[in-house]
């Protein structure tokens, strides 16, 4: 969907670069802890406001030369910049701004991120590469200016940077702790065997009435050969009556515990006895009960079990750290809550 948005006619090439940076990096920040990703997130909005002239810059009209006068200080010869001359760029550096530099590998990695988010982005085109580099240079100039101002000393900025740093550290540690941790085929097979009721397709009908006497009379009609669906449609008082008491698949998991208990005790073509439920008295009938093949759910089941194992690995690691870490809690500030 990002591609559809970014190929609208009203969006120029430069805007597309900015937008895909924002869209893609929003997802990437959740998954990646690389320094490259962190760098790209700063300054994008501000530089994006400068317009769409980067790839096709407008030609400036030639201005008339201004003759210098003795009193015209603007015409004084340029003085040497205070920045020390660092000499020529080394072979692997694509750009340098003051003391900051970007290697060719780092630059290509940024282009790769853009390419991943926008498949038709041409990261080989010299003009495109130069445009992206120019924006990264603009970004660094703004970052340096912000660092030299009082912005970097603002408490909310410091807090945000600290929170972001903590998040990245935790994400990286979690990735290391869970690397290679996944459920085996044996784990999947065992869970499937131990929880077969979770992997069963049910076609269930239900009749619900207000009093027990009516329910028992209906059960007699069914046992004497009456059609469950027809009787449900005529006499049931629940919301499924119009469909012959047929319970939609999506509603099966939401049924009250007592109803589910009576359903799982039945086999195909089985009918329950009358039982009391939260809204009166019930009778349930299983039209069909069939197992979902392991092959059909194996991939999703393995992913879920792997996630559970990874969570357990992190929880176990935290428990081990707590055993050797002194933790103090001020219960008075928690309103008298007891520390655990």
State the average pLDDT for the chain.
78
pLDDT at 169: 96
pLDDT at 250: 84
Nearest CA among 220, 207, 224 for reference residue 263: 207
Compute, in degrees rounded to 10, the torsion defined by CA atoms 91, 127, 117, 163. Answer: 60
pLDDT band at 336 (very low <50, low <70, confident <90, very high): low
Do residues 247 and 259 lie in contact, with contact meaning Cβ atoms separated by under 8 Å? no
Instruction: Give pLDDT tens digits for 50-61.
Output: 333 333 334 344
Which CB contacts under 8 angstroms, 24+ apart, belong to 100-103?
100/140, 100/144, 102/133, 102/136
Supply the pLDDT for residue 337.
53
pLDDT tens readout for residues 285-301? 999 989 899 999 999 99
The string of pLDDT tens digits covering residues 161-215 is: 999 999 999 999 999 999 999 999 999 999 999 998 888 888 999 999 999 999 9
Question: Which residue has better confidence, 84 or 61?
Answer: 84
Distance CA(309)–CA(180), nearest Å, equals: 11
- pLDDT computed for residue 88 by the predictor: 85
Tell me the residue ranges of DSSP E strands in the chain.
Answer: 93-97, 100-103, 200-209, 270-271, 275-277, 280-291
Given a cut of 60, is residue 83 above it in pLDDT?
no
* Burial environment of residue 39 by CB neighbours within 10 A (0 to 12, 13 to 18, 19 or more): middle
Check whether 304 has a pLDDT greater than 50: yes
Q: Which residues pair with 280 in a beta bridge?
A: 277
| Model confidence at 16: pLDDT above 50 | no
How much is the average pLDDT of 116-139?
89
> What predicted TM-score, i.e. pTM, was given to this entire model?
0.55
Segment 306-320 mean pLDDT: 96
The pLDDT tens digits for 88-126 are 888 899 999 988 999 999 999 989 888 888 888 888 899
- In this prediction, residue 60 carries a pLDDT of 41
Between CA 200 and CA 292 the distance in angstroms is: 5
Percentage of residues of the chain with pLDDT beyond 70: 73
pLDDT band for position 308 (cuts 50, 70, 90): very high
Which one is predicted more confidently, 65 or 156?
156
pLDDT single digits (tens) 24-57? 444 444 444 333 333 333 333 333 333 333 333 3
């Amino acid at each position: 969907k990002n591609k559809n948005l970014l190929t609208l006619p009203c969006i120029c090439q430069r805007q597309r670069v900015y937008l895909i940076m924002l869209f893609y990096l929003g997802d990437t920040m959740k998954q990646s802890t690389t320094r490259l990703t962190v760098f790209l997130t700063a300054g994008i909005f501000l530089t994006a406001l400068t317009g769409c002239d980067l790839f096709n810059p407008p030609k400036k009209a030639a201005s008339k030369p201004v003759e210098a006068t003795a009193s015209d200080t603007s015409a004084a010869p340029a003085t040497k910049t205070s920045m020390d001359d660092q000499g020529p760029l080394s072979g692997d550096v694509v750009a340098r701004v003051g003391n900051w530099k970007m290697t060719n590998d780092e630059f290509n990695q940024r282009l790769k991120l853009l390419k991943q988010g926008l498949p038709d982005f041409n990261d080989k085109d010299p003009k495109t590469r130069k445009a992206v580099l120019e924006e990264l240079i603009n970004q660094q100039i703004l970052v340096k200016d912000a660092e030299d101002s009082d912005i970097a000393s603002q408490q909310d900025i410091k807090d945000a940077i600290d929170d972001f740093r903590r998040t990245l550290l935790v994400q990286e540690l979690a990735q290391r702790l869970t690397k290679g941790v996944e459920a085996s085929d044996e784990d999947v097979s065992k869970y499937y065997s131990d929880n077969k009721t979770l992997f069963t397709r049910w076609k269930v009908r239900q009749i619900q009435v207000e009093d027990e006497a009516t329910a028992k009379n209906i059960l007699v009609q069914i046992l004497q050969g009456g059609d469950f669906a027809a009787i449900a449609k005529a006499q049931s008082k629940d919301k499924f009556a119009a469909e012959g008491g047929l319970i939609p698949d999506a509603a099966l998991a939401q049924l009250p515990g007592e109803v589910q208990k009576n359903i799982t005790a039945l086999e195909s073509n089985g009918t329950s006895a009358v039982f009391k439920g939260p809204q009166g008295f019930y009778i349930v009938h299983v039209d069909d009960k069939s197992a979902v093949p392991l092959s059909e759910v194996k991939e999703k089941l393995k992913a879920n079990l792997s996630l559970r194992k990874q969570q357990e690995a992190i929880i176990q690691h935290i428990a081990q750290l707590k055993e050797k870490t002194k933790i103090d809690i001020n219960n008075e500030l928690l309103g008298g809550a007891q520390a655990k």
